[in-house]
Structure 1
Amino acid sequence: MNKIISLIVLAIILSACGKEQNGYEVTVKLANQTEGMAYLMKVENNALVAFDSAEFNNGYVFKGSVEKPMWAVFNIKGTNDRTDFFISNDIIKISANPDNPTKIDYEGTDVNDIYEAYLDSANSFSILNSKLYAEYQEANKSGDKEAEEAVRNELEKVYEMEQAFSNDFANKNMDNLAGLHVVRRKLIYNMTYDDLKAAIDKVPEANQDNNYYKYFSEHLAKLEKTKVGSMAPDFTMKDTEGNDVSLSDFKGKYTLIDFWAAWCGPCRRANPHVVEIYNEFNPKGFEVLGVSFDQDREKWLQAIEDDQLPWTQVSDLQGWKNAAGQIYGVNSIPHTVLIDPDGKIIMNKFTHEELKEKLEEIYK
């Protein structure tokens, strides 16, 4: 009888242990926390949705389980303060660094240790960007165009340095979620088909059962249809007068598809360069088709007038859901595609300097 009881007790203990190992326990203690409800959030249909909640009690403790490891966000209700991390069925502790309350420490899983190291290093770029942006605003406010341009150039250099740093980190961490996350959040916007294909090929099979890999694969399929050497997919959209315009209308000419928007600062800064290139090469047969990611028709038309854009402009006024943008896998703007007279894509994602160099080669 005692043996039977012992076996039952042992079974209960093992069962309890098994349940603990199959779930997560996330403890969060950050600076200036006093009260209120907090949530753990995940990405679902391109939006953050809560999947767990907890009331303040000398910090927050969340208990539950996830089907597989994933990126998550801790958020206190009614605030914009968010801390992101990778959740798995483990014991995870998130806390303010005792020596620097603005720095977040993670304990419990290797992937969060790796991500913490990345964030610590990347923070230097954030600090520098904030400093330069303040200088840019001051120059803009005072009307000092020369200083404004100088700071803008510095911001671009910092951006390039940050991209190089993130790319190096990702290349070394494609076997964990931290590496995939950095590709998704920092790098994919400037990736061509070849860039993304090379990145995906580095992901080991053990790290492919996640939403990142699924998204990369789906996005790669879109980019494959519009990679250099492919025939440009046709599309039809309304111009500023409400007339249907198709990409195929431009067949027989070298044509730049310029994805942009009135609200896009980098797009607006690039427009004068594109106008200069258009004026130089249009007499030789070069054309531009502007595809706007705007939703506000009046702002779109005003930007065309303000920037004095002489080429054909089209839009379905659907913002990021722009039909042509979906076809071409556009997830950041400005985005440029150059098509030859036969409708074949010969350049994808390039600067105005690279465009001018290519056109000089074509029309020499």
Structure 2
Amino acid sequence: MKNLSILFILALLVSSCKTESNKPTRDGYLITGNAPGVYNGIRAYLKVADARGRQIPMDTAIVMNEKFVFEGKLEDPNMHFITVDNVIGTKQLILDNGDDVIIDVNKTNIANSELKGSGSTVLFNQFNLDYQDAKKDLVNLNNRIRLAKQKKDDSKVKELTAEMTKKDLDLKEMGYKFIDEHPNSIVSLILLDRQTASRDLNPDRFMQSYNNLDDELKNSFKGKALNQKVTAIVETLKRNEALNIGKPAPTFTAPDTNGNQLALNDAKGKVTIIDFWASWCGPCRRENPNVVKVYNKYHDKGLEIIGVSLDRPGQKERWLKAIQDDKLTWKHVSNLQYFNDPVAKLYNISSIPATYILDENGTIVAKNLRGPALETKIAELLN
């Protein structure tokens, strides 16, 4: 009986040692790839995006016996990408120290591979699956709307369109909802960063989610970088909002062709065109004859134009020659600072030609009209 007790205690000790040895002892990450059907010697890559969004390999592994392994330590959690030679696609995953990730490689397209593991990777993978399902629902609804239109079933079209509008709003809200529910997850930070690429970014909703993030997350390296990006984007969005039709045009003062300061308010008429152009801009020069025609036709009725040139530093003579050659007899200003011109930055000019049309009160009534559309609008305002 005594011997049995000793054996029992020894068994417990052995069991205890085994349990302890199975606990993670890494302070880095481990990615195990299962790659059925992928030949020995094929390379797999773990990549990270650089500042320009390019995927740069940070580690390489060799497939042996249909498996490969990445192991290392990160300074900060971040989005990573796995690719395998001769396998189409890229698999995204969020990687953090302590993560133990398994990827079952889909040889047809690695983007369809299954990810298993802990923490951030699982959360991110599940969000992507839910997001893709929501996008498929929208595609299916769009197909059903097209079919209903072919059958001229107006009531069905109306019903499906309303459903599609709601689902589209739900899709846009999906990322924000996840972020609000996981304020301390690196996944939230990455999804918020992804939102910055949206063309219809809602700055108020964006800032609401950003401000709800955990302070530790916002103070991380990636959090601080996102804060800088967020600040720049919100400032641009606010400037764009201030330039919407119906808003008062931002006022400015800039050097004219003689170096004297000319203010927008001193150049306005019943209708005013602010024309952003440059001597080096081919499309601008080709549009100038049309602007000249409109000016000559409507100047006596109250049309004024102020040309804002984005010519480069040291090229004043080219600017003046272009004015003379193209017979641009209206008022002109330029700081000769290319796209860094303060007036161009005030009006968020990223390409030229660009125009703003103001009424007699200085309110923006139209933007970026050229050719016949420009004359039609001026005629509407002055006839």
Instruction: Give the counterpart of 1:93 among 66, 75, 83.
Output: 83
Larger displacement relative to structure 2 (300-309 or 328-337): 300-309
Shift of 1:215: 4.6
Cα distance between partner residues in 2 of 1:297 and 1:173: 51
In structure 2, the residue corresponding to 1:351 is in which secondary structure?
coil
1:108 aligned to 2:125?
Answer: no
CA distance in 2 between partners of 1:207 and 1:67 (Å): 19
Q: Is the 8 A contact 1:290 1:311 kept in 2?
A: yes
1:266-323 deviations in Å (ceiling 9; x for gaps):
2222222111111111121201111111213233223323322221111111111111
1:9 maps onto 2:27 in alignment: no
Within the alignment, does 1:240 sit opposite 2:257 as a pair? yes
Partner of 1:313: 332
**Alpha carbons 1:258, 1:289 under 8 Å: kept:** yes
Query: Within 5 A, what are the aligned runs for 1:1-364?
Result: 2=14, 5-13=17-25, 15=26, 19-20=29-30, 27=45, 41-43=50-52, 88=79, 90-93=80-83, 105-109=88-92, 181=197, 183=199, 196=200, 215-295=232-312, 296-364=315-383
What is the CA distance between 1:349 and its match in structure 2?
A: 2.9
Query: What is the distance in 2 between the residues matched to 1:57 and 1:11?
Result: 25
Aligned to 2:237, what secondary structure does the other structure show? helix
Aligned match of 1:142: none
Partner residue, 1:74: none
Deviation at residue 108 of structure 1 after TM alignment: 0.4
Shift of 1:4: 5.7
Between the aligned partners of 1:4 and 1:263, the Cα distance in structure 2 is 78
Separation in structure 2 between the aligned mates of residue 335 and residue 63 of structure 1, nearest angstrom: 51
In the superposition, relative to structure 1, how do residues 203 and 312 fare at CA in structure 2: closer, same or farther (>3 Å)?
A: same
Corresponding residue number in structure 2 for 1:144: none
Q: Give me the whole-angstrom Cα distance separating, in 2, the residues matched to 1:63 and 1:317.
A: 51
| Residues 354, 368 of structure 2: 8 Å contact kept | yes
Residue identity in the other structure for 1:250: A
Other structure's SS at 1:106 match: coil
How many Å apart are 1:347 and its aligned residue?
A: 1.5
Distance 2:287 2:93 in 1: 42
Q: How many residues align?
A: 249
Q: Which amino acid in the other structure matches residue 348 of structure 1?
A: K
Q: Which has the larger radius of gyration?
A: 2
**Is contact 1:235-1:324 (8 Å) kept?**
yes
The change in CA–CA distance for 1:56 and 1:92 in structure 2 (over 3 A counts) is closer
Quote the Cα distance in structure 1 between the aligned partners of 2:326 and 2:74. Answer: 53
Q: Residue 42 of structure 1: SS of its match in structure 2?
A: coil
* Deviation by residue 1:20-69 (Cα, 9 ceiling, x = unmatched): 47xxxx9289xxxxxxxxx96315xxxx9x997869999xx997758676
Q: In the aligned structure 1, how far is the partner of 2:204 from the partner of 2:372? A: 31
- Per-residue displacement from partner, 1:180-203 (whole Å, max 9, x unpaired)? 6474xxxxxxxxxxxx57x76897
Partner SS, residue 366 of structure 2: strand
Deviation at 1:241, TM superposition (A): 1.3
Q: Is the 8 A contact 2:273 2:356 kept in 1?
A: yes
Distance 1:62 1:218 in 2: 41
Q: Which amino acid aligns with 1:93?
A: T
In the other structure, the counterpart of 1:150 is none
Q: Pick closer, same or farther for the CA change 1:309–1:107 going to 2, 3 Å.
A: same
Which ranges of structure 2 fall in alignment gaps of 5 or more residues? 1-12, 32-43, 63-69, 95-109, 113-167, 176-190, 212-222
Amino acid of the structure 1 residue aligned with 2:308: V
Contact 2:253–2:264 (CA under 8 A) maintained in structure 1: yes
Amino acid aligned to 2:346: I
Q: 1:91, CA displacement in angstroms?
A: 3.8
Q: Secondary structure at the match of 1:109?
A: strand
Change (3 A) 1:286 1:40: same
Specify every segment of 5 or more residues in structure 1 that has no aligned partner in the other structure, as ranges: 30-38, 70-87, 99-104, 115-169, 184-195
TM-score (norm 2): 0.52
The 1:276–1:110 alpha-carbon spacing in structure 2 relative to 1, beyond 3 Å, is farther
The 8 Å contact of residues 291 and 313 in structure 1, kept in 2 or not, is answered as yes
- State whether residues 255 and 339 of structure 1, in contact with CA within 8 Å, keep that contact through their aligned partners in structure 2: yes
Counterparts of 1:313 and 1:239, CA distance in 2: 6
Change (3 A) 1:181 1:57: same
